[in-house]
Structure 1
């Protein structure tokens, strides 16, 4: 068993601990910390279950399943926060997920992979397609924000309607990216697919020659999803009090802490495979997660917010917009040549550190904090 699997197995102990902390009223800070730690292994189990189910149902349905459940943990946390009226925290988590995947995850992958392998290569064509898609994501949040800033007296309903229209466009684009990667131009992704299959083969023992038990893993996926929803409820309910006790604003928590909690399992996978010199797979995890957040999760949250009467829109705080734009700019410039090294990873991590410090010292705004 790998170190990662051992760690996530140990962290499962925090599931009953967090339940005890909540029902025995051990304090908001204790509930927040234990619930956050409990979500980490549950998210890993959701990812494992999704992969096992994909083996049984085939590459097409498996790809759609991964595309749907790839960021399920973050979506669940965001939905519960949205239901609680913490719209600014939800927006901050979207921002943090994008910059975290592009800077922290990709940076760690390039740094640690580059230290072990002097220079690593990946598909430049795929990198350019991903870069164009991330540029669209920046445009999607830039337009509503700019319309709000440049239009005096514009109503919230107008911004909401604009955001809904943009969300529909983004979801259509997301569907087209799936068609592109799985059907019309799947050959561009053959290297990544081969690496996924190789990784799965390496992790399977010689005795394990049968296909996974479909209903067993469906049950695991269902159970993990229910537990993530429960733990997310604990996390969100205790967030404001706990972050205040920690001396953190909810802006910093939403941008930095929540995305790390929701994406820790994927982060570990991206770094691990990069150290095995499988950069196509590593970048597909990191950049693919950012794209899913921008083109699928964010639009879903806008539509759900509209349905439930919560004013969720794509009108972001200007500083969050700058952070996303800067992250996309440097990530695209570094990945455009199809090669990476440890210094480029360091540059991405340095950018993430600078932005993290800025969010930490940023004053309370728009009711966040």
Structure 2
């Protein structure tokens, strides 16, 4: 009987999703690394192997949310929604690749706000060409405010650095980053309470719409796997993503040299697209069903999670590891994020969308991608290298 349940669980999780044909690339990446060492093929194979794992991680989280209720389910989605990016970031921190951590997290925010939201607006606007789609403006305003707060957290350490206004060079900037990260985590916790408890009437329509759409899209309204099966699959997928993330991070610099692609482009553009591939597809599908509130929850909600939780979490984790991870994302990157948040907040203020707004966001993302393709990090000065070693 146990074998039949296990077989059914494996069949549902492994063999029912079309993206899972990419799963063999993960073991192949490990095999190539063992036989030929770190090279560009290891990077590419790991990148492809992580795509279905990220999607299945989201699936297992949704299944577990059936048993936990809406409040705990919201917390689960907040925790595991960007787990792939956080796992990659932790392994990059362990390898002292702080810039890869900063750039990949920044890229996740930019791709969700410009590419994902743009594609959702564009596809939804094409399908519903005769009318203007609408969404809950109140939730968009709250998320825009949090994103602006995140920009403030990243802006001040950069300004402190580039205006040479530090009381103690290399230390004040890091101390400010760690203090600001703790404040941002506190603000994110307050946001979760506000969203799930204090202002449930504000978000109830969104949750009811999401639940209804998920139920109508499935043949069976009941969960497909049990609670403990969901927990076991979450554990297995998290461990396997962790393994592939290590190979991916170790091969980034070699892949950058052999493929003639800047590390900044790989970190800001390629890694986030892979980590968010499943979310990209779901946001577009919901927009094409005129469920824009859910699309915004996927795109803008994910950006909020990364900016207010993911980035501060990595700063605190680096603090624990003894790594000088800070909120100084450099002037070019911080300016890019600031302009992106302003553009998206401006387009969301009316509470309506159409295909032209989507097209503008997609074109903005292409400009950002081209900018990072020609952007190279300036080398660290001797003072900066000394402060990092200290």
TM-score grouping bracket, smaller chain normalisation: over 0.9
RMSD: 1.6
Q: How far is 1:85 from its partner?
A: 0.7
Match of 1:116 in 2: 127
Match of 2:117 in 1: 106
Give the whole-Å Cα distance in 2 for the aligned partners of 1:133 and 1:209.
35
Match of 2:246 in 1: 233
Give the whole-Å Cα distance in 1 for the aligned partners of 2:148 and 2:301.
14
Match of 1:201 in 2: 215
Cα shift readout 1:162-191 (whole Å, capped 9, x = no counterpart): 111000010011011111111111112122
Q: How far is 1:27 from its partner?
A: 5.4
Match of 2:294 in 1: 281
Give the whole-Å Cα distance in 1 for the aligned partners of 2:224 and 2:51.
27
Residue among 71, 75, 81 paired with 2:82: 71
Structure 2 counterparts to residues 15-164 of structure 1, below 5 A? 15-25=26-36, 28-118=39-129, 119-152=132-165, 154-164=168-178
Match of 2:203 in 1: 189
Residue among 231, 234, 245 paired with 2:258: 245
Tell whether 2:269 aligns with 1:256: yes
Q: What TM-score comes out, normalization by structure 1 length? A: 0.95
Q: How far is 1:120 from its partner?
A: 1.0
Q: Alignment partner of 1:8: what SS? A: helix
Which protein shows a greater Rg?
2
Tell whether 2:327 aligns with 1:318: no
Give the whole-Å Cα distance in 2 for the aligned partners of 1:357 and 1:211.
42
Cα shift readout 1:127-167 (whole Å, capped 9, x = no counterpart): 11111111111111001111111225642222111111000
Match of 1:306 in 2: 319
Give the whole-Å Cα distance in 2 for the aligned partners of 1:60 and 1:300.
22
Give the whole-Å Cα distance in 2 for the aligned partners of 1:106 and 1:185.
25
What are the ranges of 5 or more consecutive residues in structure 2 without an aligned counterpart? 1-11, 381-390
Tell whether 2:375 aligns with 1:362: yes
Alignment length, in residue pairs? 363
Q: Alignment partner of 1:58: what SS? A: helix
Q: What TM-score comes out, normalization by structure 2 length? A: 0.90
Match of 1:171 in 2: 185
Whether contact under 8 Å (2:117, 2:296) holds in the other structure is yes
What are the ranges of 5 or more consecutive residues in structure 1 without an aligned counterpart? none
Match of 1:7 in 2: 18
Report the CA distance shift for 1:209/1:163 in structure 2 as closer, same or farther (over 3 A).
Answer: closer
